[in-house]
A and B are shown apart, each in its own frame.
Chain A
Amino acid sequence: DSGVTQTPKHLITATGQRVTLRCSPRSGDLSVYWYQQSLDQGLQFLIQYYNGEERAKGNILERFSAQQFPDLHSELNLSSLELGDSALYFCASSSIRDRVGEQYFGPGTRLTVT
């Protein structure tokens, strides 16, 4: 158990809908990262937040947005969902005290868009 929690574990929704994925980092970790893993693709970095501020952005679509709250939990919002958004979404966290920046992954949320 990495200490990173994600909810829900599974989500099934229809095209055009909007969903919110939630992540709670390890206790004390200020950085949160979101990744997407689609079929036949590696883990794709979406976005990073550090202590409430956006720190780095990857291949995140405009239909997707994220935020990190004062209690450090983060939410990834996916809107106008398309079939191709079906994927496994991981959240990871890291500590500023960890010089090498090791990232610890949550169990993931499997999103199925029908």
Chain B
Amino acid sequence: ILNVEQSPQSLHVQEGDSTNFTCSFPSSNFYALHWYRWETAKSPEALFVMTLNGDEKKKGRISATLNTKEGYSYLYIKGSQPEDSATYLCAPRVSYGGATNKLIFGTGTLLAVQP
């Protein structure tokens, strides 16, 4: 069973604070790492996909890094805004016998940004 751990489980910050979350995953059978943003009452929305060790992706104030050798990814949010409040999910994509599109989701980090 592939264990994906995200920390912290929840985070409460003030508007303007910068924050980061961690996703840890076993590095064997690794194919790609996906980050999703999930707002309450909506469906998960893709943020980033990273495949190579050392990958860094950026989208506005949000960026992510990937270390496939040690099995972790960081998500950073610079200058958090109330609209960033959501659950952030990471999901490594693993390869088992040719089926390479199986995402294993972590339980997420719930971010609440106070105005």
Contact = CB atoms under 8 A, between A and B. Distances in A.
Contact count band on A: 20 to 34
Contacts of A90: 43-44
A56 B43 contact: no
Nearest to A96: B101
B93 A101 contact: yes
Contact count band on B: 20 to 34
A10 B35 CA distance: 27
Given A42-B89, A100-B32, A102-B49, A56 B44 contact: no
Contacts, number: 61
A90 B89 CA distance: 15
B102 interface: yes
A2 interface: yes
Dominant secondary structure of chain B at its interface with chain A: strand
A44 B104 CA distance: 7
A56 B32 contact: no
Nearest to B49: A100
B101 A107 contact: no
Interface of B: 4, 32, 34, 36, 42-46, 49, 51, 89, 91, 93, 96, 99-108
A58 interface: yes
Nearest to A43: B105
A55 B43 contact: no
Contact of B103 (A45, A104, A108): A45
Contacts of B100: 101
Interface string A42-54: 1111001000000
Contact of B102 (A45, A100, A104, A108): A45
